[in-house]
């Protein structure tokens, strides 16, 4: 089946339109608006055409033995679409940046219940890890070696990153991927967005899609480690030509690969929207509640390697009982330090968003949003033999005996509100798409109480119920404004400019859990310019180059967890140079009548001043401690390719080769005490590798359709050596690893429902033992010799997830 898509009003071709056959994406329309589906199986099918700014067209077609040809004319959108609200923060071929787009369908075929980072594992320069080892619970993502504290994440243009830590804790939003309509990953500084600065990448999530037809779905998965995912989704479609209602309820639970690393996660999503000819109003609320057994301590290295002498050192240093020592030897790489039955993290996060998109004549529209995020929760811990004085309490006196230590259980709480407004005014001339411009910005405030309570103690004579032993309040304001434009100066040559100003104010008052005063006052003003050019070599071929500046403030831990006597953390600056080549053709005949080829090569040079890099240590809640280094850089190439033959077989590959270095680095020894005091400098200035920054990362997916409705995929991932600190010492590093996954999805479309799909995901098919994350301490031992101790986060050996999904 072949044909063309055109504008019903002007007759112009619509290149790049989406073509879906029974919900499965086929090749997009080419530059002339033409499409070809090499094979349409016998029987009835639904063919859907969609294009941003136009109303979708659905055709009922019948598979035949002879070729069919049809023409579809799309009407310009009678109502605004959700995409109008996210285009202001997204990159395109005109913005001269490196990016990857993922559709709802792309995410759905990867979604068996693992956290969102695992669904992005095959995108360029990405490394993912899981505390519990199997992708459910606390997970993390790094892009170009930068942790998620340097990845700006937004949902519908609203900042998601925690304003204090700048991390994006997706464990608080389980099964978010099931409500995502589209997602874009920008690498490098990227375009100006709301929220924290992007020092490695941006992840822009949209849930704003409006589905015009009613639907109902149920998705269920079960797998290794007693992992369950259950969700139901529903939508009314367009009611009365103006209203839409969508919802989802989800539950995900697992025992975890690591011992005592269970997670119980619940979430909901609900959206109600109104669409008019030039107005889109949408209220969205989503929430997640998580209860996760603490697995953030990791596993001591000798428990994995079996080094008896080093394991004895761990037992002696930790003053482990005989029972605990026997347990670490027995559990090996799945060992978990904690045994208290409620050593859990408990947190709920509620999000409320109100979005408005309003057309202002034919050439202008404005998008605006009000948002509120409410977070509340604690983690509970059993503490053995703690000094009363460490909790600001007096010793207990019983007769003639003075007791200075006690076993106790405490809870550390977070109680916060994050609220604000965002806006973007877009200019797009109706009759001339050579020039586009946006003026936007945001005003946000974060108010967070940190406090601790003692809920039980062995000796509690001077402890009241829920005794509060520390309290501090933090407030942070973040204002930004930006203006950006693309201008196609010549038919083949375009320019891009983007100017942003950010103003941040951060205040902390009170004491921390160590009874230290953490009063902080910090204010920053940043100016971040970005420029780029594009040049079309020929049809489907483009060169691009850009320069961008990104600056960001330190995070809370950089202020509150500094080593005694250490210099105050300084703001970071990044100068990002990017250049690349793109090639896209959908009308080749290399492997069949219709072969699609996409290639991209991107070079980057990221030059830092005062970059805050991980020291390899953690604080008492598992947050990485960091230090400024005066000069550092990341440089490399990202190569991506995709080839598809008649939608029967496809291969996608990405390879990143990089060099990540600190200049004039000095290595220090850290004493292992509560203040992480620096003891002695042990090296002269030298060039060293940046921690957690592999020099080679690759991902490859080979997917085929051997039978109608059956899709089989092999997914290969490779990551080279990562150093746990900045010394480039192999004794403090993660070994290179390679994993292979197998994915099967089989869909049938019976007459009584839209679809039944069976799925199977086998992770780590070759049963490799590896660790994707870790940390290290270097300290002065008993004999005054420097000693190093490493902890790792082992990932699961071969495991599976099976799914049954139904659609009505």
The answer to whether residues 64 and 193 belong to one domain is: no
324 occurs within a structural domain: no
- Provide the pLDDT for residue 574: 95
Secondary structure (3-state) at 178: helix
**How is residue 775 written in tokens?**
């940390």
- Domain membership flag for residue 146: yes
CB contact at 8 A, 749 and 743: no
How many Å apart are CA 374 and CA 40, to the nearest integer? 49
CATH number at residue 10: 2.60.40.1120
* DSSP H or E segment with residue 308: helix 308-317
Q: Looking at the structure, do residues 716 and 597 belong to the same domain, yes or no?
A: yes
pLDDT at 678: 47
Specify whether 251 is located in the same domain as 373: yes
pLDDT for the residue 78: 45
Cα end-to-end span (Å), the chain: 26
CATH of the domain at 478: 2.40.170.20
Of the candidates 30, 58, 77, which is a domain's last residue? 77
- pLDDT tens readout for residues 766-808: 999 999 999 988 766 655 566 788 999 999 999 999 999 999 9
pLDDT at 756: 95
CA distance linking residue 134 with residue 112, whole number of Å: 12
Same domain, 471 and 405: yes
Q: Which residues of the chain have pLDDT under 70?
A: 9-10, 23-25, 31, 52-53, 76-88, 562-566, 589-593, 615-624, 668-684, 779-786
- The answer to the question of residue 314 being in a domain is no
* Contact (CB, 8 A) for 233 and 247: yes
> How many CB atoms lie under 10 A from the CB of residue 330?
11
Distance of CA 457 to the CA centre of its chain: 39
Q: Are residues 524 and 383 in the same domain?
A: yes
The helix/strand/coil state of 556 is helix
SS3 117: helix
Q: What is the predicted pLDDT for the residue at 593?
A: 65
Q: Is residue 508 within 8 Å of 556, Cβ to Cβ?
A: yes
User: How many Å is the maximal CA-CA distance in the chain?
Assistant: 100
Reference 734, options 719, 718, 721; nearest CA is 721
Q: Based on the domain organization, do 62 and 146 belong to the same domain?
A: no
Instruction: Give me the DSSP letters along 621-632.
Output: TSPEEEEEEEEE
Distance CA 659, CA 694 (A): 8
Nearest to 805 by CA among 773, 764, 765, 757: 757
Reported as a single tens digit per residue, the pLDDT across 404-442 is: 999 999 999 999 999 999 999 999 887 777 899 999 999
User: What is the pLDDT, as a whole number, of residue 673?
Assistant: 52
User: Which SS3 state, helix, strand or coil, does residue 315 take?
Assistant: helix
Domain count, the chain: 2
In a domain, 317, yes or no: no
Q: Two tokens at 528?
A: 């971040």
Cα angle at 203 between 144 and 21, to 5 degrees? 115
Indicate if 34 and 181 belong to the same structural domain.
no
Q: Which of 557, 573, 723 is nearest to 625 (CA)?
A: 557
644 and 526 share one domain: yes
Q: Which helix (H) or strand (E) holds 559?
A: helix 556-560
Is there a domain that residue 316 lies in?
A: no
| Residue 229 domain boundaries | 107-298+336-807
The answer to whether residues 63 and 186 belong to one domain is no
pLDDT tens column, 629-645:
889 999 999 999 999 88
> What local confidence, expressed as pLDDT, does residue 591 receive?
65
Question: Strand runs (DSSP E) across 720-770, as ranges?
Answer: 722-723, 733-734, 737-748, 755-763
Cβ-count burial 631-650 (b if 16+ within 10 Å, e if not): ebbbebebbbbbbbbbbebb
Choose one of 36, 56, 77: the last residue of a domain. 77
Token pair 């780029």 in the structure block, residue: 532
Asked whether residue 323 is assigned to any structural domain, the reply reads no
Task: Please give the pLDDT value at position 88.
Answer: 65
**788 and 745 together in one domain:** yes
387-405 burial, b for 16+ CB within 10 Å, e for fewer?
ebeebebebbeeeeeeeeb
Q: How far is CA 266 from CA 231, 468, 754, in A?
A: 10, 29, 27
Comparing CA positions, the residue from 653, 642, 647 lying closest to residue 593 is: 647
In a domain, 97, yes or no: no
State whether 429 and 577 are in the same domain.
Answer: yes
3-state secondary structure of 558: helix
Q: Please indicate, yes or no, whether residues 126 and 36 belong to a single structural domain of this protein.
A: no
In-domain check, residue 31? yes
Q: From CA 774, how far away is CA 725, in angstroms rounded?
A: 10
């Amino acid at each position: 089946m072949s044909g063309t898509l055109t504008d019903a009003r002007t007759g112009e071709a619509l290149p790049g339109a989406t073509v879906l056959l029974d919900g499965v994406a086929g090749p997009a329309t080419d530059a002339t608006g033409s499409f070809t589906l090499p094979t349409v199986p016998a029987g009835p099918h639904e063919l859907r055409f969609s294009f941003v700014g136009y109303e979708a067209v659905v055709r009922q077609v019948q598979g035949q033995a002879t070729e069919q040809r049809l023409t579809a004319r799309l009407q310009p959108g009678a109502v605004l679409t959700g995409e109008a609200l996210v285009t202001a923060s997204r990159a395109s071929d005109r913005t001269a940046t490196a990016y990857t787009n993922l559709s709802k369908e792309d995410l759905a075929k990867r979604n068996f219940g693992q956290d969102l980072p695992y669904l992005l594992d095959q995108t360029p320069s990405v490394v993912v890890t899981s505390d519990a080892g199997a992708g459910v619970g606390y997970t993390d993502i790094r892009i170009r070696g930068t942790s998620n504290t340097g990845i700006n994440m937004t949902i519908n243009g609203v900042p998601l990153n925690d304003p204090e830590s700048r991390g994006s804790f997706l464990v608080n939003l389980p099964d978010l991927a099931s409500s995502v309509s589209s997602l874009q990953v920008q690498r490098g500084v990227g375009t100006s967005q709301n929220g924290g600065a992007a020092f490695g990448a941006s992840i822009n999530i949209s849930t704003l899609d409006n589905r015009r037809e009613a639907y109902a779905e149920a998705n269920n998965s079960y797998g290794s480690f007693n992992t369950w995912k259950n969700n139901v989704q529903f939508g009314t479609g367009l009611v009365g030509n103006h209203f839409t209602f969508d919802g989802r309820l989800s539950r995900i639970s697992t025992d975890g690969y690591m011992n005592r690393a269970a997670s119980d996660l619940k979430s909901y999503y609900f959206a109600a929207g109104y669409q008019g000819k030039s107005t889109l109003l949408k209220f969205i609320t989503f929430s997640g509640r998580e209860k996760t057994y603490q697995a953030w301590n990791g596993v001591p290295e000798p428990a994995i390697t079996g080094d008896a002498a080093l394991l004895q050192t761990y037992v002696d240093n930790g003053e482990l009982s005989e029972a605990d020592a026997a347990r670490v030897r027995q559990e090996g790489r799945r060992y978990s330090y904690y045994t208290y039955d409620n050593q859990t993290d408990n947190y709920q996060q509620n999000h409320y968003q109100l979005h408005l998109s309003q057309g202002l004549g034919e050439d202008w529209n404005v998008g605006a949003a009000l948002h509120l995020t409410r977070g509340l929760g604690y983690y509970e811990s059993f503490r053995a033999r703690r000094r009363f004085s460490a909790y600001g309490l007096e010793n207990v006196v019983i007769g003639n005996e003075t007791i200075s230590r006690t076993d106790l259980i405490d809870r550390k709480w977070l109680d916060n509100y994050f609220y604000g407004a965002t806006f973007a005014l877009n200019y797009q001339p109706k009759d001339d798409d050579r020039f586009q411009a946006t003026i936007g910005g945001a005003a946000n405030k974060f108010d967070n109480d940190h406090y601790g309570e003692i809920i039980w103690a062995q000796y509690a004579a001077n402890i009241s119920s829920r005794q509060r032993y520390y309290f501090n309040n933090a407030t942070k304001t973040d204002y930004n404004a930006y203006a950006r434009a693309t201008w196609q100066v010549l038919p083949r040559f375009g320019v891009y400019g983007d100017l942003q100003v950010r103003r941040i104010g951060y205040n902390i008052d009170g004491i921390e859990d160590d009874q230290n005063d953490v009063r902080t006052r910090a204010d920053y003003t940043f100016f971040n310019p970005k420029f780029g050019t594009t040049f079309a070599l020929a049809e489907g071929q483009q060169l691009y180059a850009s320069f961008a500046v990104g600056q960001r403030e330190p995070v809370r831990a950089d202020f509150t967890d500094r080593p005694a006597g250490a210099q105050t953390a300084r703001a970071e600056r990044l100068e990002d140079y990017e250049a690349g080549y793109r090639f896209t053709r959908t009308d080749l005949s290399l492997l069949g009548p219709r072969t699609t080829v996409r290639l991209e090569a991107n070079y980057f040079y990221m030059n830092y001043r005062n970059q805050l890099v991980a020291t390899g240590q953690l604080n008492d809640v598992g947050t990485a401690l960091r230090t400024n280094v005066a000069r550092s850089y990341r440089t490399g190439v990202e190569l991506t390719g995709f080839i598809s033959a008649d939608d029967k077989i496809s291969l996608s590959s990405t390879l990143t080769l990089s060099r990540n270095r600190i200049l004039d680095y000095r290595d220090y020894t850290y004493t292992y005490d509560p203040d992480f005091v620096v003891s002695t400098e042990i090296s002269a200035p030298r060039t060293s590798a940046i921690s957690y920054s592999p020099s080679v990362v690759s991902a490859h997916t080979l997917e085929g359709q051997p039978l109608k409705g059956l899709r089989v995929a092999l997914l290969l991932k490779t990551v080279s050596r990562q150093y746990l600190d900045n010394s480039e010492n192999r004794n403090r590093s993660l070994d290179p690893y390679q994993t292979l996954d197998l994915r099967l999805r089989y869909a049938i479309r019976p007459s009584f429902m839209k679809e039944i799909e069976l799925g199977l995901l086998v992770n780590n098919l070759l049963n490799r033992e590896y660790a994707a994350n870790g940390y290290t301490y270097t300290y002065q031992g008993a004999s005054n010799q420097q000693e190093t101790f490493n902890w790792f986060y082992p990932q699961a050996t071969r495991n599976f997830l099976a799914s049954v999904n139904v659609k009505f």
